Structure 1
Amino acid sequence: MIERIPIALTGYQDAAATPGSDVDTAAWRIISSPADCEAADEAIIPCTTRQPDVARKLLTECQPSDLLRVTGYLTLPGTADGGIRLDVDSVEILWEPPLQEQPPDHPTEDHSDRDRAIQALAEALTGLPCTTTAGEPPDVRINIGPIGLHGLDIGNCHSIDVTTTHTDQLTSAVTAMLATLGSLPPQAGTGLNALSPADIAGFFDDLDLTELTELTGDADASRPEHGVIGPRTWDDLLGNSPGAATDDNDR
């Protein structure tokens, strides 16, 4: 006798559903990815249904990469070389990708930074150090995935179940982070480049005090009859500065 085990699974639809051999039946596969599992631990489960409403939904509404919640009975093989099959009684679409596949002429892009960021965010949310009430069941699902999803991006999709307590604590943490970022001085815009203490010390180290004394020590050099020899000499040494120019009317 073939054993039938009641089960509920969440997974991504692997490929488009196909009509079964009988009327109002359908067959498809889902990729089951339990929380915290590695890619090598994912399982592809073949599914069938004899429920007319479920079959129509799979054939007309569901598409590859949809996140599905299916319930039914897992049928174990009667022989060692047989295969398992999930006979589905109900299906719920939990999340639909914004785009099933890229256009044919879409250029190949490097999404390694994006994929790394998604993975890091998923790990951070999965490892939330939050305190929960004993026995509080998860009641909020956070789905993370890339925009423009196609078949190769299924491995970058994550579904994380958290409790209301987790959600409230996460909201408080994000609000505090935004408040901290908002209190920091703006980083963009134009302005003067700040000099470090080392830059300022280096500037004065380059000055020749003996030369300065020789240039400014002669009182006759600053008299009107000698014109603008003093200021120009300073400009030659230190560089031109606004307001240092003198015309003939100022003599």
Structure 2
Amino acid sequence: MMERIPLALTGYLDTAAVPGDAVGTASWRLISSPADCTAEEEAVIPCTTSRPNLAHLLLTECQPSDLLRVSGSLTLPDTADGRIRLDVDTVDVMWEAPLQEQPPEDPADDHSDRDRAIQALAEALTGLAYEAAAGEQPDIRINIGPVGVHGLDVAHCHSIDVTTANTHKLADAVDAMLATLNSLPPQAGTSLDPLTIAELTDYFDELDLTELTREVLDATRPEDRVAVTRALDDLFGDIPVTGIDDSDQ
């Protein structure tokens, strides 16, 4: 059984914190430098937290070299090759390191479409997660998020727990979608085929607007003919129609 020891520790953030396996968690390393210790006596302590507010602080507001005061439970391994870990419950920023210069953002580097795609997929998978059969508990976790996650991308990371049965359904649906996509002809763009354009051009060139107008008016009630004629003139231009003089139009 692993032993847990209450511990408070002050040290410098070694590298930027990273999101944990679950939503609202984070992991980082703290360099512990007690007073009067030498460089060889410094210790690097792996830290983790499952408190969402602390994870957000570490991921979005803290940077390497910040001096932190943390407290929690130090977990000692029960085997010689195991790892120690400090499960953190509180974090206080004692000193903030000077802001590191950030590379200028590329104005063309717009991730809005990517983020909308992640959100849409997360919502769809969340709906799948709530379709668990009675008595069946989720036992598979699906993590989705941007490639190369940094602090600003944490809000676009999602973890969805689903059952084995629903995972099989999801796999079958993806296989069916890929089969459908592979059966479609290659997309050469959105432009119309030249043959189609030529056919449409020939069709409209062959239209007799005078005859077309006459057929429309013949099917129109007498009291509506003047209004319909004006509408046709607005659409096609002034088309002479036998039986209706300019005074009637």
- What is the TM-score when the length of structure 2 is the normalising length? 0.47
Task: Give the structure-1-normalised TM-score.
Answer: 0.47
